[in-house]
Amino acid sequence: MIQRKKEHWFKMLFIWHGSVLPQLVPRLLLLLLLSVLVVYLNGTFYDYKIPLSPAPFTIFGIALALFLGFRNNASYDRFWEGRKLWGALLNDTRSLTRQALTLTGYAPDSKEVVDFADMLIVFTYCLKHQLRKTDATEDIEKRLPADLAHALKHAHYKPVMLMREMGIWVRQARGRGLIDPICQAAMDENLNKLSDIVGGCERIVSTPIPYTYQVLLHRTVYLYCFLLPFGLVDSLGWITPLITVFIGYTFVAFEAIADELEDPFGTEPNDLALNAMCRMIEATLLEMIGKQVEMPVAGDGYIID
C-alpha cells in the first residue's frame, strides 16, 4: 500500500509511483496513435466518411460514467470490508492475549502465555498467506515449536487449525482450574470472532464481482474510447488526439482502479498492507507479554506491503 503525506496540488499532477498510469501507458499510446491517424485521414475510412458527432458520445459518456462509478463503489466496498476485518483481527488478538494474561494468572513470560501469543501471531501470518496463496512455512517454523509446525505443514486451512489449537489451550487452562466456565466462554467468544474474520476474508476472495459484468464494462469502455476520435475530429481538428487521450485516461483509469481494489488482499501498490499489519499485531502482542520490540517505520512514499 502506498502511504504518502498530502502533496502540493501541483506536485500531484506529476506523481507516477502508486498511480495506475504506468500500466495504462501502452493503451493510451495506442489510443493516441489511432487519434492521430483519424485526424490525418480526416475521419474517413477507405474513402468513406464516418458520420459521427459529439452529441451521442456526450449522452453515452454520462451513462458510462455512472456504470463505472457503481463498479468502483462495489470494489471499494470490498476493500473497506477487508480493512475492517483486519482491524477487528488486531482488536481480537489483543483481547485474547489480555485474557490469557489476566484471567489465568500466568506470568507474562511463562511458557504457556508465550505459546498462546505465538499461536495468535502465526495465525495472522497464516491468514495473510492463505489470502495471497503464498507459502507460510517460513513464518510458521520461525515462531512455533517443531511439533506444531510439522502438524501445520500439510494443512490446507492453517488459520483454522491454529484456532483449534488455541481452543485446546483454553480447555487445558479450564482443566487446571485456572479459569472458570464464564472466563472460558469469554475466551471462546473471541475465538469465534477470529473464525468470523477468516470466513469474511474467504468470502471476499472466493466471490469476485461477476465476470460477465466486468467483460461488458471493459468492452464498452474501450469501444467508446476507440470511436471517440471519429466523433471529435470534425469539431476539434488537430487537438482531437489530446482530448481523446485525456478522456480515455479518465475512463480506463477508473476501470483499472476498480480492478486493483477488487482483491484487497493482493500485492499491488494500492492493496491492503497485510505484511505491515501482521508485523504490528506481532509487535503489540509481544509487548503485552513483556518482550521488547521495535516497530519498523516506513518512509514517506514507500510501499508498505
Q: Count Cα neighbours of 193 within 13 Å in the Cβ-side half-sphere.
A: 20
Radius of gyration in angstroms for the set of CA atoms belonging to the chain, rounded to a whole number: 27
Which of 2-16, 33-47, 78-92, 216-230 shows the lowest per-residue confidence on average (mean pLDDT)?
2-16
pLDDT tens-digit profile of 60-73? 888 888 888 888 99
Predicted TM-score (pTM) of the model is: 0.86
Residue 38's identity, in one-letter code, is V
Instruction: Sort 59 into a burial class: Cβ within 10 Å, 0-12 / 13-18 / 19+.
Output: exposed
Angstrom CA distances, 207 to 75, 137, 204, 210, stand at 12, 27, 5, 8
- DSSP letters along 170-231, please? HHHHHHTTSS-HHHHHHHHHHHHHHHHHHHHHHHHHH-PSPHHHHHHHHHHHHHHHHHHHHH
Reply yes or no on whether the pLDDT at 38 is more than 90: no
Give the residues across from 268 on adjacent strands: none
Distance CA 36, CA 237 (A): 10
Query: What does the mean pLDDT of the chain come to?
Result: 88
pLDDT tens-digit profile of 235-294? 888 899 999 999 999 999 998 888 888 999 998 888 899 999 999 999 999 999 988 777
Residue 301 banded pLDDT, cuts 50, 70, 90: very low
